Chain A
């Protein structure tokens, strides 16, 4: 069964450094998402992406965040200058179409900012 994959599984970085989290969505899916989950808290929406542009974003997704689909398979989340409060699990998800189609999640990247 096709799966969403994410790398790395764990990223440790110093405050102020840039990080790039990588995702490979399910191959025929058209909609891509990033969510995050701070330890012990809810999963929170960050951004959705379709047709090479952002379609929705939350208040969390400020100017320090950016997303890109650099080729036909990868979908990345960049944090330009990490803060301690960016420490969380970051999940990538994809779905085939809009309108309530199922979003399938990857295993997540644990980001630790020191």
Chain B
């Protein structure tokens, strides 16, 4: 079946560097995408979202890029900090439903 997937299971970056976490999705009917951060023992924490009629959205230190042509979503974190260390999930919503389909997650490790 169609699913959201991630290219890299673990990403290790130096503190202060920029991080890019990627996500591939296969369902062209998806119209809404979210990035969540999950720290150990906690629930997913909303980072940023983007609708399918946009290709870029910026937040505080984070940018989400959506490329519908190749069905690719990325999360860019500027000036990565130790507190950014966590597992990052992309999730998609299809059509008018409310169900989120999550990807497998990427672990971001920030080295001081």
Contact = CB atoms under 8 A, between A and B. Distances in A.
Q: Do A and B interact?
A: yes
Interface of A: 4, 6, 31, 33, 35, 41-45, 48, 50, 55-56, 58, 91, 95, 98-100, 102-108
Interface of B: 31-32, 34, 36, 41-46, 49, 51, 89, 91, 93, 96-105
A22 B88 CA distance: 26
B9 to A, nearest CB: 11
B100 A45 contact: yes
A58 B99 CA distance: 9
Contacts of B45: 105
B2 to A, nearest CB: 14
Contact of B49 (A55, A56, A100, A106): A100
Q: Which 4 A-B pairs have the closest CB atoms?
A: A100-B32, A105-B43, A43-B102, A45-B99
Contact of A45 (B46, B51, B101, B105): B101
Contacts of A56: 97-99
Contacts of A100: 31-32, 49, 51, 93
15 contacts: A6-B43, A35-B100, A35-B102, A42-B105, A43-B89, A44-B102, A48-B97, A58-B99, A91-B44, A100-B31, A100-B32, A100-B49, A105-B45, A106-B43, A107-B43
Given A45-B100, A48-B99, A56-B97, A102 B42 contact: no
A46 B102 CA distance: 12
Contacts of A106: 43
A42 B98 contact: no
Contact of A95 (B43, B91, B96, B98): B98
Contacts of B105: 42
A42 to B, nearest CB: 5
Nearest to A106: B43
A55 B97 CA distance: 9
Contact of B104 (A42, A98, A104, A105): A42
A105 B102 contact: no
B105 to A, nearest CB: 7
